[in-house]
Amino acid sequence: MTHRSTVGPLRVADAWVYLHTNDESFADVLAWCFKDLARADLPAGTANTTHHFEVDHEESPWPHWTLKRDGETRQHALDEGYVLFHVQWELNQIVLERRFTTIHAAAVEVDGSCVILCGASMSGKTTLAGWMAVHGAGYVADEIVSLTDEGSALSYHRPLGLRHGGPLEPLISRPASLDNRFEAYEMVVPVSSLGGVTLTDDPLPVSAVVFPQYDPNSTPDIQPVLKSVAFDRLCSNLPGLARHHRPVFLQAEALIRRVPTFDLRISDAGIADEMLRSAVGSAPQPRGCMS
């Protein structure tokens, strides 16, 4: 009988998630990548449901990977370079299913409040969130920021998906023994591996919504953005809008009305960090100097 390894439980929204695999080296990778979702010191809370994923390596009729969620096949012919990426995608689905108002964004804690970095893929929000976390901000979330009914932001400590060559790559502390077959698309990095990072657990009031735009050839800049423009953009980054409609629209409208909104042009993460903190009223800290 094939040996199976289990990673978990991971805390994903209000669900517990277990990852099972028949590949021991992949289990090691999973355990490292998702360690920030599996911390023993997570707030107790109540998990309302449990999900099991089986992510297995098959050799016949050709080498491939399969992914099942609670016994249901989700992917039946994955290349190993993409399997980790798909596991992440599945965990995101759980958050989207379990939370009501969700924003496609990253988020960091600055001075006890949450700054939401909202934007499409490649806008620089993940790199900026990671950079700010390394320089004294708390890490709240990446890819999905959920709001409570009261409008506070909820944490989701999924690993960062980073492209090679970015400013965070030199900071990654990754065990040399980990198999690197599974990162063809991007590096999947737990934020805690960047060193000196605080993971924010408690719901936070939102202090700003920022729309980063990465352009390596641009002059860094931060400018207030009109509320209607900000709201229109926010609406295009609300996965819950299609599912829950008007209540999500109204909650997002309330958020945009009560916090400042900015456009942030990024060509350098450090400069963008300084500009953003200046705009929301906090100075960045040297790496390793935590508040």
Partner 1 sequence: MKQVFGSNEMPNVHPDVTTALFDDDELAAVVYDTRADATHRLSAEAVSVWLFCDGRTSVAAMADELIDIFGLAPESVAADVQRALAQFWSLGLLRGSSGAEGDHSSKEATLVDRVLARPPDP
Residues at the contact surface with partner 1, assessed by CB under 8 A = 64, 75, 77-79, 82, 85-86, 88-89, 92-93, 96, 102, 104, 120-121, 143-144, 161, 185, 226-229, 231-232, 235-236, 238-239, 241-243, 245-246, 249-250, 253
Rank residues 8 and 239 by Cβ distance to partner 1 and give the closer one. 239
How far is Cα 271 from Cα 249, in angstroms, rounded to an integer?
Answer: 33
Q: How far is the CB of 144 from partner 1 (least distance, A)?
A: 6
The strand pairing partners of 98, in sequence order, are none
The strand pairing partners of 52, in sequence order, are 18
Q: How far is the CB of 212 from partner 1 (least distance, A)?
A: 16
Rank residues 38 and 238 by Cβ distance to partner 1 and give the closer one. 238
Q: How far is the CB of 56 from partner 1 (least distance, A)?
A: 16
Q: How far is the CB of 243 from partner 1 (least distance, A)?
A: 6
Q: How far is the CB of 269 from partner 1 (least distance, A)?
A: 21
C-beta of residue 26 within 8 angstroms of C-beta of residue 65? no
C-beta of residue 3 within 8 angstroms of C-beta of residue 22? yes
How far is Cα 44 from Cα 134, in angstroms, rounded to an integer?
Answer: 26
Q: How far is the CB of 276 from partner 1 (least distance, A)?
A: 21
Rank residues 106 and 110 by Cβ distance to partner 1 and give the closer one. 106
Rank residues 235 and 279 by Cβ distance to partner 1 and give the closer one. 235
Q: How far is the CB of 272 from partner 1 (least distance, A)?
A: 22
Rank residues 4 and 245 by Cβ distance to partner 1 and give the closer one. 245
Tell how many helices (H) and how many strands (E) occur in the chain: 7, 16
Structure token pair of residue 213: 């735009």
Rank residues 253 and 274 by Cβ distance to partner 1 and give the closer one. 253
Main-chain dihedrals φ then ψ at residue 101, nearest 5 degrees: -95, 110
The string of DSSP letters for 152-220 reads: -EE-B-PPEEE-TTSTTGGG----TTS--TT-SS-EEE-GGGGSSPEEP-S-B-EEEEEEEEE-TTSPP
What is the CA 164 to chain-centroid distance, rounded? 17
Rank residues 17 and 110 by Cβ distance to partner 1 and give the closer one. 17
